[in-house]
A and B are shown apart, each in its own frame.
Chain A
């Protein structure tokens, strides 16, 4: 893919850790790629796997789900439940031929502004390599 491809990434961030972590990165003036469309959710456990499918349908080139580190969930077990769910969803997406770089999950705490930068940079770089999502976005459908 061309160097200048700017992937469109939808990021579901948990309110308590990852959103705060991203915020910290911002207030600390840590620079990271601006390709993210952030959707704040209360917990990574709230992210329905269909959100991921829907994001891809609606034009995302990749999706990132980020929550608290295991054991730190504000709701005790939300991220554990999410982990199981997405471990399977990831395999399913991959099995139908969606490049595995398009779905990412991370644990970023409220104090990990630097890690947030690394995660986002990694995801965006990977997606730049993978190129635009062309498998089943709605846009490709001829009305």
Chain B
């Protein structure tokens, strides 16, 4: 068993597919650890991240976009942006990548039992939200209503497109999708996510709101959640920053006195509102 904090585990890509296309396309990887012992001992919860990479190229911190309830594999949805993610996008089924982790804290899923959950995502920001959606869905009886609000610039930019119609069929679950500008044959909302949130007008009563997306969207969603009278400790978000070590040593991921890799990535707004660099 590998206990070395910097030594990655080798994993094999089982399946890949594109979520979106274009210059900054998003590709999803389904991976399985090569070492059976690692596979069996791996435990993660929604919200956590892992350092994934390619030997000889480097590593990137990517949120795990599947729930442990889905099976003994991991899923990562990666946007093609920098050196490592560009190299990752070259990988196909059967190729090797490295994974170490899981890193960071988790959504407090036990605390939330019995509560309604509303997730508000934008663009690639849906990736860290997907595991909590799947987790709640798998344990539906333990949680209240689940509302998924998700938007992107165009319908082509939506991730996990195929999953929402199935999801909407689950009892006490609703899915609201949005795109920024009108498109033909688009049956859902047209406009920005914060506005859609106001239209849905969720009650803060016994409800947890989780948001993730581009900084500008997060800012407006937070403002709107405050308008909807959500208390600070019922609002959650996940942060991201550049990371290298993942274990609170290399120093770069701090927002104020918090290390995003150790103290985060999941934070309640109650915790973040006094952290100066949180939304920088």
Direct contact of A and B (CB under 8 A): no
